[in-house]
Amino acid sequence: MGFQVHTRETGRVVVVEAVGKLTLTDGAIELRDIIHVFAANGTTRFVLNLARVEFIDSYGIGELVRSYGRAKKPYFSGTQKRRRMKLRARNAKRRHK
């Protein structure tokens, strides 16, 4: 299975639902482009629903960190709390360098 992204706007929040594998060859660039387009249009609140993502490689994690930094108020849904904390910690370290 490849990678698919479905988006919907709910008020001022964009919900991005990812399905499949988030890797260098499947979807990471597509996810990044969607976040960048919405962010360029002024959207700052995102919900990334990763509940149906089967696998994420290191490149996919990097794109999640970059998208987290691009959005002002992101929220990761469908992930374990511990993983969300790691993504936030990585982004905080990156901003303070």
Domain that holds residue 83: 3-95
pTM: 0.71
Listed residue (62, 56, 58) closest to 20, CA to CA: 56
Question: What's 11's domain CATH number?
Answer: 3.30.750.24
Alpha carbon distances (Å) from 34 to 6, 27, 82: 10, 11, 25
What is residue 3's predicted lDDT score, i.e. its pLDDT?
87
Choice between 87 and 16, residue whose per-residue pLDDT is larger = 16
- pLDDT band at residue 86 using 50, 70 and 90 as cut-offs: low
Q: What is the pLDDT of residues 31-85, one digit of tens each?
A: 888 888 888 888 888 888 888 888 888 888 888 888 777 776 677 776 655 555 5
Number of domains in the chain: 1
